[in-house]
Structure formats: C-alpha cells, structure tokens
Chain A
Amino acid sequence: MAPLIPQGIINPELNLFFALLLGVGFGYILEQAGFSSARKLAGVFYGYDFVVLKVFFTAGITAMTGLLFMDYLGWIDMGLVYINPTFLYSAITGGVIMGFGFILGGYCPGTGIVAAVTGKKDAMTFVLGMLIGIFIFGHFYNAFEGLYTGHFLGNIFIYDSLGISRSWFALMLIAVALGAFIITQMIEDRVNRTSASEISSRPPYYIPSFLVLSLGIIYLLLPPEKASSYREKPAGAIWENVIAGNYQVCPQKVIHQIKRGHDGMALIDVRSREEFDAFSLPGAVNIPVEELLHRRWKEFFRDTKRDKLFFGNGGSRAMESCITASRAGYKRVFMLEGGLNRMFEELFTDKSLPDTTVYDLQARSTARFLLEAREFFLEGGLAGQLEKERQRIRAPEETEVIPVIGGC
C-alpha cells in the first residue's frame, strides 16, 4: 500500500493488516506456480525445470516496463520509491548464505514458508533454521555490525555502472529475458528427452515476445522527459495572459498590501540566496527558478487562498518564474511589475509631489498614499510583522519526503 500510507490516505495502523493480505496473495501465487515443491525449485540447477527462472524474469520485466511507462506518464513519482542502498560486503555474504541455504534446503525464504504452510516437514525444518539464524543475527548484532554496514556504495544503478542509458538497459534486459526463455527451453527439452512431436505441438509465443520487445523499443525512442502533461496550461493561454498584462501587478498595489499586513498575498523572492539574505521584502520566501518545481513547494503553491507574487530586482526573472509556475498549473500567480527597482523608484526617489492644497481629489490621495507609504517603510513600521513572518518562512520547508520502503 506504498503510496497511500505516507500520504495519509490509509491509517498507518492498518499497515500490518494490508501486509497480511498482500502476503497471503503472494503466497497463493507462489503455491499456484508450484513453488512449494523443492523438486521444482531445484530443477533450475539440474536443468529439468526452469519455471522459477521464467516466473521471476516475467515478473521482473513486467514490473520494469510498467514502472518505466508509469513514470513517463507521470502516474507515479519515482522519487518516492525506495531503492535499497548497496552495502557490498553484506550483499556478498548474504548472497553466499542464501545460495548455500538454497542448495541445502531446496527453498528460498518465501517459498520455504509457503511449503511449510502446505505441510511439508522439510520446509518446516528449513523455516525453523531460518528463525534461529534471525535470532542469532539479532542477538549478536554488535559482532556483525562491521560486516553488515561495510563498504557502503549508496543507491547505485546497473546502467550507470555500465555507462548506458536507462532505456537501453531496459531493452537489453527484455532481450536477455526472451533469449533466456528460448535457451532454457532448449536445455529443458534435451534433459527431459522430450519427443519432437511434443515440441512442435507447443504453441509458439510470438505475440507476447513481440509485444514486450516493441514496448522496450517504444520506450527507447521516447524523449528523455515528457514534454507536457495534461495538468499544464497551454502555451497560447499563458501568452495571451502575458500580453494582456494579467500577471503583472503594479507596485502601488503591492505596497498597499504590505502595509495592510498582506494576508491575501504570499511574496516570493526569485533572486539569489545572497541577495535574499541581504535584503528582502517582509514575509517573503526565497525560491530561485531552478527550485521552483521542487516537490517541497507544491503544497505552498496549491494554497488557493492567497495570491502568489513573484518579485526580483527587475521584472524579467520574476516573469520567467511566473510563467513557469503558471505552466505547471498553479493558480493565482502574479509578478511585481518592474521589480524592486521600479517599486523603490515609485516610493522614494524625489518625485515632486503634487500640491495638496489644490482641490484635485485624485492628486491629493495619490500624494497622501505616497507620504504614508514612505513613512511606513522608513520608520520601520515593518517590525510588527516579524512574528508573522517567522511562521511564513517555516511553513513550506517542513514537507519532507518520506520514501516508501518495502521489498520483495
């Protein structure tokens, strides 16, 4: 139930219940494939039955193709999928122990339990041995720790080590799997001395092989990243908004909002970290363009109660961020027209104020607004907003990604 529990859709306390359901399902399939029989499992080594190899290769390439395409279509977020990190020494030791146990008992851990449930006495002994092994490891963990965490390599991928792209590796794996199916079938026939008429009566699996191979080739031919998704706003609509000036907000409006405590407006600073540290508008958060589409800010932008206002020194960087955010499907994004430069020009440069004694309502209110704003910003009227700001800066940084952890 990987994506549902960290997202809070399913109560984590039900985790074990679903684990039980999935485990029963998995065991049922193993039993159905005939994996509760040690004779069948050991067939891979003697060459009379390759069903284990076939089942696991099929499962592997099915899961691989499905995941690759779901990742491409944006149905699944591969960043959330937990990848087991590689500890070289423990991997080698574990492999040796598992192989040795497989030869000795004729089962691997999962199939051993399935066989034990079906009432096989050798499997029950096998499971008992496994439990003793677990107990020893847990009890003397301190002695094993150096080995267990030795030579950490991190999350390494086979295609990176080989120096090829992921899509090429996927295609290669599919081809290798199909080749392995043909070769193992030939070996099986020779060992079992299958008669020629029986071989010819067997249906050829042309269609599945062709389909799986063609899926691999389609994935190879796709561009590395999908150009657009259905959630995105079309370019034409964005461009119309840009020309009509729907994204631009004039500095006076922003000054007014800041003076009122800007409850309906979230300020986003698109400048560099250094510039942001030196000075920023009160309550602003720093999001450079490169970081804009990061998962961390998703929640922040999905908040539809507030307008999101981008600002930079000038207008161009803010406009770039604004368009990027708008294309990503975020609503209520705006930018400060002319940036901080224009805003300060409007506020503080020595503009000749209109004569307030003249009976011109508009000129008088403009002058009064400017004077009030100057007073507010120069006299440090912003100090009262500091407490509020602390909460604002904190809010979006908390959403840390919880990787989903599980194994086969």
Chain B
Amino acid sequence: MKNHTLNNSTIIFSAIIILAMLINFLTARDYGKSNRMVAAGLSQDRYFSYEGLYSAMEGSFPGEGHLVIDLRSREEFQKRHIPGAVNIPAGEIPDRKNKKMLRKSDSILLYAGSEELAAGCRVLLHGMGIENVSLIPGNYQVIKERVLNGFDPSYAFYNEDKTRWEYQRFMPVGKSKRESRDALRANPDPEVPTPVIGGC
C-alpha cells in the first residue's frame, strides 16, 4: 500500500508540472526572448551614426557585412534609397521568409519614413530573438539630405532623440517643483515591515 502511495504521488506531481509546461508551450506567443531581457537590452547603443554610414558607403555598402533594410513602401523605395538597401515594407516584417533572412545576417541596419517606426521594428525584432539590429537615425528625408546628397560632418552623430531645444527657457516650471521633489527623495516614507521570524 505504502509503495503505491509513493509511486502515485510522484506521478501526479510530475504530471501536473509537465501538463503545465505543455500548456505554457502551446500557448506561447511568437517571442524568442522575455520582455524583461528585451527591456534590459534596449538601453544599449541603438544608433549607427551617419559618419559610419558614410564611410561604409564609400565601398560597396552591403559587402561590409551590414544588411540595410528599408521599411518604406515599394513605391517610395523605387524612387530612391540607400544603395544596397533591401526593401521590406513595414507590414511584411513578421513574415516567415523575411524573419529567416534577418536571422542569418550579422548586422542589420533599419531605416523608415520615421525614426519611431524603425525603433518600434527594432524592439519587435529584439523580442523575436534577432538582436544585432541598429537604427540609422532620422527619417529618410534627413538621411537623403545629410548623407546621400553630400555628407555634412556637423551631423555625423545626429539622432532624433537628442535635445534640440533648451526646454527650460520655454516652459518655466518654477523652483518649488524641484524642491518638493528633492525633499521627497531625501525622505521617503520609512515604512519598514516588522519581520516575524519562525524556524524549525
């Protein structure tokens, strides 16, 4: 009798775990990397500078080991694009064929009609497990003006996430705001839970 109890309980215990893992596996989304890990990786360097783009374009660009993806529509791509770029319209990124191609390359550079869209695409690819993705900063118009139509060295490290205005000058928010915030940070509520400790 006792022997059966051990056998049965082990089987039930393992069955619960394996069943849960199976359900988890079947209901899994198409992600290859957990959200927390993606968020931790996002703070890394995300831009491929115009300087790098320009010097890479001196030679034949795709030969450098970079895969440049143009996320704009087909018509826009046909008008003009970065030499050597491959066109994948933004909506077709999740297609299996495209994902396969992206997985193979060592370094992917993205650009689109707006930097936001390219940044969004980068996060998505990170989530799918494709990590070596960087952005070419700015939208296509800016790239065209500052790199394709003649390189402007003063924009060598341009990106849209840099502060362009002196905000304080426009929006005086007053001193009391910062003071109150500092006071808050210096003296947070000392609410320490009283521990109840037990032992065998």
Residues of A within 8 A of B (CB): 62, 65-66, 69, 73, 82, 108-110, 203, 205, 207-208, 211-212, 214-215, 218, 225-228, 230, 232-236, 238-239, 242-243, 248, 275, 277-282, 288-290, 292-293, 312-320, 323-324, 327-328, 335, 337-341, 344-345, 347-348, 377-378, 380, 382-383, 386, 389-390, 393-394, 397-398, 400, 402-403, 405-408
Once the chains bind, are B7 and A207 in contact (CB under 8 Å)? yes
Once the chains bind, are A314 and B93 in contact (CB under 8 Å)? no
List A contacts of B191 (CB < 8 A).
Answer: 398, 400
Once the chains bind, are B27 and A230 in contact (CB under 8 Å)? yes
List B contacts of A218 (CB < 8 A).
Answer: 18, 21
Once the chains bind, are A234 and B29 in contact (CB under 8 Å)? yes
Known A69-B17, A242-B120, A292-B39; judge A109-B200 contact (CB<8 A).
yes
Cα–Cα distance between A235 and B121 once the two chains are bound (Å): 11
A-B contact pairs, 28 of them (CB 8 A): A65-B17, A69-B17, A73-B21, A205-B7, A208-B6, A208-B11, A211-B10, A227-B33, A232-B35, A239-B124, A277-B181, A279-B168, A293-B36, A312-B161, A313-B162, A313-B164, A316-B161, A319-B116, A320-B123, A327-B35, A341-B160, A341-B165, A345-B165, A347-B170, A382-B172, A386-B176, A393-B184, A403-B193
List B contacts of A324 (CB < 8 A).
Answer: 35, 38-39, 42, 123
Known A225-B36, A243-B90, A344-B167; judge A380-B172 contact (CB<8 A).
yes
B101 interface residue, CB < 8 Å from A?
A: no
B141 interface residue, CB < 8 Å from A?
A: no
List B contacts of A394 (CB < 8 A).
Answer: 184
Once the chains bind, are A278 and B116 in contact (CB under 8 Å)? no
List A contacts of B162 (CB < 8 A).
Answer: 313-314
Once the chains bind, are A408 and B170 in contact (CB under 8 Å)? no
B195 interface residue, CB < 8 Å from A?
A: yes
Once the chains bind, are A407 and B197 in contact (CB under 8 Å)? yes
Closest 9 CB pairs of A and B: A314-B160, A316-B119, A208-B10, A315-B116, A314-B161, A408-B200, A407-B199, A228-B31, A228-B29
Once the chains bind, are A319 and B123 in contact (CB under 8 Å)? yes
Q: For chain B, give the interface size range.
A: 35 or more
B46-80: which residues lie under 8 A (CB-CB) from chain A?
46
Q: A65-B17, A242-B121, A344-B164 provided; 5 other pairs, C-beta below 8 A?
A: A225-B34, A315-B160, A340-B167, A378-B172, A386-B176
Cα–Cα distance between A320 and B123 once the two chains are bound (Å): 6
Once the chains bind, are B119 and A320 in contact (CB under 8 Å)? yes
List B contacts of A66 (CB < 8 A).
Answer: 13, 17
Once the chains bind, are A323 and B14 in contact (CB under 8 Å)? no
Once the chains bind, are A235 and B127 in contact (CB under 8 Å)? yes
Cα–Cα distance between A230 and B195 once the two chains are bound (Å): 34
Cα–Cα distance between A279 and B170 once the two chains are bound (Å): 10
Residue of A nearest to B173 (CB): A382
Flag B138-170 by CB within 8 Å of A: 1 or 0 each: 000000000000000000000111111101101
List A contacts of B177 (CB < 8 A).
Answer: 282, 386, 389
List A contacts of B161 (CB < 8 A).
Answer: 312-314, 316-317, 339
List B contacts of A398 (CB < 8 A).
Answer: 189, 191
Once the chains bind, are A289 and B43 in contact (CB under 8 Å)? yes
Cα–Cα distance between A333 and B116 once the two chains are bound (Å): 15
Once the chains bind, are A313 and B163 in contact (CB under 8 Å)? yes
Once the chains bind, are A239 and B39 in contact (CB under 8 Å)? no
B178 interface residue, CB < 8 Å from A?
A: yes
